[in-house]
Amino acid sequence: MRLGTIDIHGRPTAAVILDDGSAAPLDAGAPDFSGTLLDLIAGGPSGFAVAEAVARAAAAGKADWLVPAARVRLLAPLPRPAKNVFCVGRNYADHIAEGARAQSVTINVTEVPVFFTKPPTAVIGPGAALPLFPHVSTQIDYEVELGIVIGTAGRDISRDRALEHVFGYTIINDVSARDVQRRHGGQFFKGKALDGSCPMGPWITTADDIPDPAKLAIRSFVNGELRQDSTTASMIFDIPALIASLSEGLTLEPGDVIATGTPAGVGYAMDPPRFLVDGDVVRCEVEGIGALENTVRAVPPPK
């Protein structure tokens, strides 16, 4: 099942996204439900049952309240996460290697995952303009990543039980300002936290539709040119390991999002580097989920 958030007359509305691109708003198909997609996730099995009932009615052609595909405007599935998006750095060996070559340094694989965060203000949806701030950064880069959406709260989650806490999966573009990263001591947060630097979507594919998230093709394109082409099987730390490590002494809650790292092929590691510019179209794909596409648009400097 694909669950997303659509814009209906300026109001973010949780919906089931059907195969033909049309959408079944949950509040229309289930009048007793009036919450957001985050509310549905937090509702656990009862929330999931609401979505299933709406999906069945829509599939059976019993829904006169469907939004036709031509009128569906997708937002980020979680337009304003309750807290920062958790991200994983250096989780693909080939990306570590290309970064070491580009910087002429040695980058070692760590014994535990490297985590950082992106603020809720970084999140934008599919089709939204990916803002470029030339007065802040001239080295904006793309990073396609598989996103995990937590469904069941937990702390100190064991590796063996980790996937039980997953509600579903989405796509994230971990947009990065490389020069800002370097200016701020090489740490991740500031260079990863600019407004609009976390495109997310196009929806959440529920975990039952992705039986093995460790075997998904993952790709990115810029203006139609293939840049990244890998598989989640190449992760250094797999999804159970990431959830187990992140949750050590830290409670993960329904709706929390974890971006799992990016493979090789990013712009700054090319020779010469190829950073994003105004008008570029970035397309991120993950098998079993779909595609997330955004166009880069320069933002005028403040007056």
pLDDT given at position 7:
97
> In which element (H, E) is residue 227 found?
strand 225-231
Q: Answer whether the bond into residue 272 is a cis peptide, omega within 30°.
A: yes
Q: Which stretches of 73-153 are assigned E, i.e. beta strand? A: 74-75, 85-89, 114-118, 123-124, 129-132, 140-141, 144-150
Strand 85-89 vs strand 257-259: parallel, antiparallel, or unpaired? parallel
pLDDT given at position 62:
66
Strand 290-298 vs strand 281-286: parallel, antiparallel, or unpaired? antiparallel
Compute the distance between CA of residue 202 and CA of residue 105 in angstroms, rounded to an integer: 36
Q: What is 85-298's CATH topology?
A: Fumarylacetoacetate hydrolase; domain 2 (3.90.850)
Q: Where are the domains of the chain?
A: 2-75, 85-298
Q: What percent of the chain has pLDDT over 70?
A: 99
Q: pTM above the 0.95 mark?
A: yes
Mean pLDDT of 76-103: 92
Compute the distance between CA of residue 77 and CA of residue 201 in angstroms, rounded to an integer: 6
pLDDT given at position 264:
96
Kindly state the tokens that stand for 124.
């934008």
In DSSP terms, 2 is beta-bridged to 205
The answer on pLDDT for 166 being more than 70 is yes
Mind listing the pLDDT tens digit for each residue in 245-255?
999 999 999 99
